[in-house]
Amino acid sequence: MTSQDFTPDPPLHPDFTLDWTTYDDVDDSRQRWSTWFDVEPLSRGPEPRPDWVVTSRGAIDTELGILKTGKEGDVFLLERADPLDPDGGVVMAAKRYRSSEHRTFHRSASYTEGRSMKRSRDERAIKRKSTFGKQVAAGEWAASEWEALKRCWSIGVPVPYPVQIDGTEILMEWITVDGETAPRLAQTRPDVDLLAFYYDQLRDAMATMVQAGLVHGDLSAYNILAAGERLVVIDLPQIVDLVGNVNGMDFLLRDCTNMCAWFRQKGLEDADEHELFGELLAHAF
């Protein structure tokens, strides 16, 4: 049968027209086509998604430069925008995990107590520290932070919205103040009233996590952003299960100690780690 013999069923309306939009090829080394549709649905952020998330098939990701370096990976700024709708673009934070030989975070064993891996082959490779095992380990830390971000966002903990994960790269909300990256809490000098307000937010965030059986595990004034009057918790790959991890209570007490020491240093004398620890345990059990 030739194309001339083909008759659609049902017949097309005489006014039917086929319309499409073409895009120029990406020829800038800093750019790539959006990876939104390259990942599985479960690798995209929880719904309902914020309005600023760009899901256009024609969107382009443009690398804008490095934002910060960390113990387990580096964070870059990445713009995702459709060339036909440039005003609808968004700048996100792209966290990319390094392989284990390039990380400076070496206390992973105590954080991973109680965790299990889906494939025993991967677990054996990590224990042998083979090249494949190092790649798997980097992916496991990325996956751990991805799941932590999704869960924390869903239960109301103030964390950046997780947009998507692709291998060892997590795209998430870029937290800003007046168009610039929000400072870490450690870089701020809040007045007495704002300091007390920050402490109340911290207690609420930690209580929400503990109620869900979660402990940050590495909480400090360097892992919290101050977005104006709002605190945002970041860096969650080492998040631990309060009960499932034998070190869960120790990590919780250490988080309380680190944070209360900072608040006391800034002038909030009522910040007491033992009182906070007891308060959080009351939420947990």
Level-2 CATH architecture, domain 180-284: Orthogonal Bundle (1.10)
Banded pLDDT at 122 (limits 50, 70, 90): very low
- Which among 61, 235, 241, 255 is annotated as catalytic? 235
Level-2 CATH architecture, domain 31-173: 2-Layer Sandwich (3.30)
Q: Which has the higher per-residue pLDDT, 201 or 141?
A: 201
Banded pLDDT at 232 (limits 50, 70, 90): very high
Is 235 a residue of the active site? Answer: yes
Q: In angstroms, how far is the first alpha carbon of the chain from the final one?
A: 73
Name 75's Cβ contacts closer than 8 Å, sequence gap at least 6: 66, 67, 68, 69, 93, 94, 95, 96
Is 51 a residue of the active site? Answer: no
Q: Rounded to the nearest 10 degrees, what angle do helices 131-155 and 192-211 cross at? A: 110
Share of the chain above pLDDT 70, in %: 80
Where do the structural domains in the chain lie, given as residue ranges? 31-173, 180-284
Banded pLDDT at 26 (limits 50, 70, 90): confident
Give the tens place of pLDDT for each residue, 53-105. Answer: 999 999 999 999 999 987 778 999 999 999 999 899 999 999 999 875 544 44
225 contacts 185 by C-beta, under 8 angstroms? yes
- Which among 82, 218, 241, 255 is annotated as catalytic? 218
> CA 178, CA 208: separation in Å to the nearest integer?
28
Give the tens place of pLDDT for each residue, 169-210. Answer: 999 999 999 999 999 999 999 999 999 999 999 999 999 999
